[in-house]
Structure 1
Amino acid sequence: MLFQVTTTNSVGLAYYGTSISTTFRRDLAAIYVRLMGEIGKYIEDGGNLLIENGWMEEPPRMIDHDQLAKDGKM
């Protein structure tokens, strides 16, 4: 559930970035920038919780072909 909330907030942050690039009103852009800072801190807290609890998946890595050849697995 925490991953879903963090991901949804990240998408919302991207929408604020899109809104800034398409609005002509400076007052709205200032509000969006302020909100982006606050949401960014919230997302960071969620990411730290995911890391601390070991819930974040390991990123993809290159295959070690030498180790595969030694193990005989294919």
Structure 2
Amino acid sequence: MEVTERFGPAEQTPAQRQALLDEVEALKATQGLPPLSPFGQRLYQRYVAGELSLAECSAELRQYYGQA
């Protein structure tokens, strides 16, 4: 498998990236936190597809919600 520097060792494939997001959402649910907004869902779909890194998703979220 070709390693992409944009992603960490545990997020090289779309399946790994989806599993990571599934774990995060499950943890959020156990803490009573709301699910991702539609905007966040679209960003993270792009993350799973390999178009954005987690850092890029975070930057987009901060900019969108005015916390940059």
Could you state the TM-score of these two structures normalised by the residue count of structure 2? 0.32
**Higher relative CO (CA 8 A, sep ≥ 6), structure 1 or 2?**
1
Could you state the TM-score of these two structures normalised by the residue count of structure 1? 0.30
Structure with a larger share of its residues in helix: 1
In our comparison, the structure showing a higher alpha carbon Rg is 1
